[in-house]
A and B are shown apart, each in its own frame.
Chain A
């Protein structure tokens, strides 16, 4: 309808108002779309090779790898600490990886809404390799497979924790590896 009015190119005072309304509507839509991308937290799917890769990087960086799942209440409780660590160390040689052990068929229904709700911006991985026995020892031979579990490493320096962690302990262990 706007197009037809414009094509006719009649100089009615109403045209300008319609144009203004059109521009306003488009601007609002554009702004809404700009805000929206926050929902699409990217989830990288990994198998046992991917797990090996993110738990054995060689750069002079401190990697913090947290194994969690939406169904694991202690994991849910502590995930905010990892997100804080990620935000507070954004300009430091520290990388926080959140590795979800939710079943792959739960991503849309549980993992994505959870990440949105918790406003997670740290990189998230999802393990698609369900043959746990084939890769648990690669993360740490002392790991029984229970979560939460956290690996903090820089080269040869490694700390592995199979337990719930407090904010203080997390930051302290990270500093221990960094120094």
Chain B
């Protein structure tokens, strides 16, 4: 009997760990992080927007690089429509030196990021969202002053080649949100680089 209780407790603990993070419909966790320009950017700064495209991304991951231009274009296309991009780098610089704050500054300057590029120094933000890889997208919808998760997953279905995309998951989700509907699919999966946790 005792072992059954212990097993159940272990399973429950495993379940809680495995399912930490947010799903579509959940309230979006707030954040307040340092931007590459030295300022602090919070989710609450966006209260007048219709939503936010939160992108967990990083410098060296080939998938992040492959999507970099597409993320810039998304911001250029949707910021004026009320859905700006906020990029968050969740990688620990000790494990991944290329993701150090100075390297983030360099990259965002070189590539002219038109959006904030924030450092999740404590790594609490990516964990609160449940992000596991880069790039990992969370589309937030402003629901009467509360940001809620509308879509989680990939940008589209061809990381290697933007011209070979057949399904634009994120843009389809944005269209649904703008039309007042729920995105379908509300979640997608993609291959990506593991987020580098502090060791």
Contact = CB atoms under 8 A, between A and B. Distances in A.
Interface of A: 71-72, 74, 101, 103-105, 130-134, 136-137, 142-148, 162-164
B88 interface: no
B182 interface: no
Interface residues of B, number: 24
Given A130-B160, A132-B191, A137-B189, A145 B62 contact: no
B157 interface: yes
A4 B30 CA distance: 87
In the A-B complex, the 9 residue pairs with the smallest Cβ-Cβ separation, listed nearest first, are A146-B133, A144-B132, A136-B189, A133-B188, A146-B194, A103-B160, A132-B190, A145-B189, A131-B157
Chain A at the B interface: SS class: loop
A146 B192 contact: yes
B157 A72 contact: no
A19 to B, nearest CB: 56
Contacts of A130: 157-160, 164
Nearest to A103: B160
B169 interface: yes
A145 B18 contact: no
Contacts of B18: 142
Contacts, number: 65
Interface in B163-199: 164, 166-167, 169, 185, 188-195
B191 A147 contact: yes
Interface of B: 18, 61-62, 132-133, 153-154, 157-160, 164, 166-167, 169, 185, 188-195
B153 A133 contact: yes
A146 B195 contact: yes
A133 B137 CA distance: 14
Q: Which of B153, B158, B164, B191: most chain A CB closer than 10 A? A: B191
A145 B158 contact: no
A156 B192 CA distance: 28
Contacts of B62: 71, 103
Given A133-B154, A144-B132, A72 B189 contact: no
Given A133-B153, A162-B132, A145 B192 contact: yes
Given A132-B154, A133-B169, A147 B190 contact: no
B190 A145 contact: yes
Nearest to B164: A130
A162 B189 CA distance: 14
A96 B192 CA distance: 23
Nearest to B166: A131
Contact of B189 (A101, A104, A143, A163): A143
12 contacts: A130-B158, A131-B166, A132-B157, A133-B185, A133-B188, A136-B190, A142-B18, A144-B132, A145-B190, A146-B132, A147-B191, A147-B193
